[in-house]
């Protein structure tokens, strides 16, 4: 009876939703019929730096956008050349995308999105330009910090919550950059060549998951793909995004990513933002590729007006979805204490404990008399760095301030700069000597170094390693940090290395003699407090790496197998499907720290793996996890699949599910996960379809891709 009632309610929901959709489509068609050609064209290109034109006489507002993806961007001027207007634009600075993904907690992705959507609504923004979900193919990519993972399944799980969180606040999310924006060097021109298999298995799944989750808008990439720019690429946009996936919203160009009027009209670009003219003084927005030229082409009979109508139709769907035309958008909230606490929670769950020999961590402030905090990243504020993702934080707690907040004058804290972090800086013997002097007198040394964002929007190359429009020159620790760390290690063996940044850094020199290493990312406005909570054990770390940290650059899959940055014209993804851990585990290349790796202050034991075959090639995977330590903690149980024998090469393992579970000391929980048929499939690009081959599959369960505790074979027919 209960099932019948639920089915009836579901059917009623479908019927009501369908009726509402039909009614909305009728309203849209009626509006389009009332619009002049010039009014339609005004809606498909920028009218200011961050908006398109509305049609006031018909009640159609401007469509206003804001950069994200980890905080609503500061208020930019309406035109690039004018001063920024004064406004209330200091908001919640959330941890960056790679930190969010390190939580392996989709529910936190939803809370993250709620904050972003609510603050965007408060600021009267219609679209927040996030999340960024490009695959971390290459550790040098300057925007890896914005993105989430090297693994398409992890991205797919995390992106759904983010999108739903944003859009339930009455603001449209804009997933980006579709597709293959995997390097910043030559991003405006480089042509990406990859196999259909790599496209389908690695680079598309996150975007497909976003569309299935109901994302309202999508932003195109700067690069070319197989000879056409991604923003107006017939295969990617028309055939896959709008054809196969039935995406109903607008494709928005990245700023200046449109290069051809006819391709933009015919190949699916619906809104052109920030044309190549955008940085010129006294910009004439009507001269964009989708500006006055389109009006002339339609009037001359060279372009059908129906093509323009379709673009407007997609834009109006978003406007009706979020009540923009009726003027009933949500009010939103701005930088509330609840928002700040979400930033803290994400940072705490995202910070990763990479190494902890001799249980140096957690520190006990009751037994420590003095701490030497060394390194410029201990005091550097990061929110206003990185390029278009800059956030003007209402406040930002630095690592040093967070440590001071935690010890509350109960422990003596001394600070030394240790290194200069301006461009081209090398080891400074005077600063090193000052740091060593403090370290030799302290009970514990906390070194805070790593990468930097850079400070200023217009000076991304000053101190910028993690930033838009630049890639890192290498993986080496900049500013002479290796020399400094070596000197500090000799002065004090009790040293914690805290690394700030958006991805892997070469630790081969500093790691062997360092007892504890913490990956702190760019952890948002509460990052310093979150770091201190972990260092002193108030929070038990549970973050796991969403990307492999190779030992050195030469070990990275894109460098070893593929091409980077290409020959200036093309970049061929010869690494194919073997990205990140798929490469390391298949080719037996030991990383510095593996995908999925992250330590805790407790220990977990995996037991009792059982595989049960259900109908339709569904396999139920069950196992237990026990907290065998003395403190409560959370573990991310990761389930990988390996096909024993296949017609085409497959990786040693592929992540197919995970679950984060919190356990009290001594507590045991049973985990049950269903792997559906698609968990065993791969894309056969000789047959141009997904296939599930009969045969044996190994199910691997553990706490990291290189730490498999349980495995069992299942045979599918």
Helices then strands, each counted (H, E), the chain: 17, 26
> 579 preceded by cis ω (within 30°)?
no
* Distance in angstroms (rounded) separating the CA atoms of residues 608 and 679: 22
For residue 682, what is the enclosing H or E element? strand 682-684
In DSSP terms, which residues pair with 665 in a beta bridge?
Answer: none
Strands (E), 465-603: 495-500, 516-519, 570-572
Whether residue 466 lies in the annotated active site: no
Q: CB of 229 within 8 A of CB of 256?
A: no
* Distance in angstroms (rounded) separating the CA atoms of residues 505 and 450: 7
In DSSP terms, which residues pair with 702 in a beta bridge?
Answer: 638, 708
- Residue closest to 137 by CA, chosen among 658, 581, 472: 581
- Please count the other Cβ atoms lying within 10 Å of the Cβ belonging to residue 689: 10
Q: Is 615 exposed, middle or buried (0-12, 13-18, 19+ CB in 10 A)?
A: exposed
- One of 67, 151, 254, 576 is an active-site residue; which one? 254
In DSSP terms, which residues pair with 412 in a beta bridge?
Answer: 370
The conformation of residue 401, written as its DSSP 8-state character, comes to: H
CA distances from 308 to 37, 38, 49, 266, 267 (A): 8, 10, 22, 9, 12
Q: CB of 479 within 8 A of CB of 419?
A: yes
Q: CB of 466 within 8 A of CB of 452?
A: yes
- Please count the other Cβ atoms lying within 10 Å of the Cβ belonging to residue 330: 16
- Residue closest to 296 by CA, chosen among 589, 683, 38, 641: 38
* Distance in angstroms (rounded) separating the CA atoms of residues 674 and 657: 9
Catalytic site positions: 254
């Amino acid at each position: 009876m209960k099932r019948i009632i639920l089915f009836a309610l579901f059917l009623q929901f479908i019927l009501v939703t369908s009726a509402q959709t039909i009614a909305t489509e009728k309203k849209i068609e009626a509006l389009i019929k009332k619009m002049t050609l010039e009014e339609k064209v005004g809606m498909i290109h920028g009218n200011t730096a961050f908006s398109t034109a509305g049609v006031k006489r018909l009640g159609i507002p401007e469509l206003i956008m804001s950069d994200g993806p980890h905080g609503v961007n500061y208020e930019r001027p309406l035109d690039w050349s004018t001063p920024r207007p004064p406004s209330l634009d200091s908001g919640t600075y959330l941890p960056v995308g790679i930190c969010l993904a390190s939580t392996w907690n989709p529910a936190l992705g939803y809370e993250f999105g709620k904050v972003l959507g609510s603050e965007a609504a408060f600021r009267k923004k219609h679209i927040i330009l996030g999340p960024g979900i490009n695959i971390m193919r290459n550790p040098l990519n300057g925007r890896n910090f914005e993105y989430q993972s090297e693994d398409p399944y992890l991205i797919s799980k995390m992106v759904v919550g983010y999108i739903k969180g944003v859009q339930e606040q009455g603001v449209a999310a804009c997933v980006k950059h579709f597709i293959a924006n995997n390097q910043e060097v030559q991003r405006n021109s480089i042509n990406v060549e990859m196999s259909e298999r790599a496209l389908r298995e690695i680079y598309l799944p996150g975007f497909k998951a976003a569309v299935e989750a109901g994302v309202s808008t999508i932003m195109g990439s700067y690069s070319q793909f197989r000879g056409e720019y991604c923003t107006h690429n017939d295969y990617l946009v028309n055939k896959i995004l709008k054809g196969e996936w039935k995406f109903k919203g607008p494709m928005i160009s990245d700023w200046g990513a449109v290069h051809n009027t006819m391709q933009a009209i015919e190949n699916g670009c619906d809104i052109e933002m920030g044309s190549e003219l955008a940085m010129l003084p006294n910009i004439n927005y009507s001269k964009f590729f989708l500006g006055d030229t389109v009006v002339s082409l339609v009037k001359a009979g060279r372009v059908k007006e129906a093509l323009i109508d379709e673009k407007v139709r997609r834009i109006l769907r978003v406007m009706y979805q979020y009540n923009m035309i009726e003027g009933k958008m949500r009010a939103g909230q701005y930088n509330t204490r609840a928002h700040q606490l979400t930033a803290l929670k994400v940072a705490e769950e995202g910070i990763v404990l990479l190494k902890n020999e001799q249980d140096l961590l957690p520190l006990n402030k009751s037994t420590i008399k003095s701490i030497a905090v060394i390194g410029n990243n201990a005091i550097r504020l990061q929110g206003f760095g990185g390029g278009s993702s800059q956030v003007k934080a209402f406040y930002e707690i630095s690592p040093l301030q967070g440590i001071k907040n935690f010890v509350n004058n109960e422990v003596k804290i001394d600070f030394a700069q240790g290194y200069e972090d301006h461009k081209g800086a090398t080891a400074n013997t005077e600063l090193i000597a000052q740091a060593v002097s403090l370290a030799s007198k302290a009970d514990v040394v906390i070194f805070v170094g790593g990468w930097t964002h850079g400070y200023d929007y217009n000076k991304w190359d000053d101190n910028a390693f993690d930033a838009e429009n630049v890639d890192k020159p290498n993986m080496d620790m900049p500013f002479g940090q290796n020399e400094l760390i070596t000197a500090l290690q000799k002065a004090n063996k009790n040293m914690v290395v805290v690394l700030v940044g958006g991805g892997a850094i070469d630790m081969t020199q500093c790691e062997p003699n360092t007892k504890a290493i913490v990956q702190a990312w760019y952890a948002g406005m509460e990052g310093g407090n979150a770091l201190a909570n972990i260092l002193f054990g108030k929070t038990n770390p549970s973050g796991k790496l969403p990307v492999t940290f190779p030992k050195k650059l030469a070990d990275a899959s894109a460098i070893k197998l593929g091409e980077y940055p290409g020959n200036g014209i093309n970049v061929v993804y010869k690494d194919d499907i073997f990205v990140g851990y798929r490469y390391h585990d298949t080719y037996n290349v030991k990383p510095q720290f593996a995908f999925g790796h992250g330590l805790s202050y407790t220990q977990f034991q995996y037991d009792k793996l059982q595989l049960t075959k259900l109908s339709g090639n569904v396999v139920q995977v069950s196992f237990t996890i026990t907290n065998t330590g003395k403190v409560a903690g959370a573990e991310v149980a990761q389930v990988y699949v390996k096909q024993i024998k296949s017609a085409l090469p497959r990786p040693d393992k592929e992540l197919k599910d995970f679950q984060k579970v919190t356990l009290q000391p001594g507590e045991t929980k049973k985990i049950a996960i269903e792997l559906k048929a698609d968990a065993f499939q791969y894309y056969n690009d000789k047959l141009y379809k997904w296939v599930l081959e009969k045969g044996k599959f190994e199910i691997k369960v553990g706490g990291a891709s290189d730490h498999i505790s349980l495995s069992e074979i299942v045979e599918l027919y």
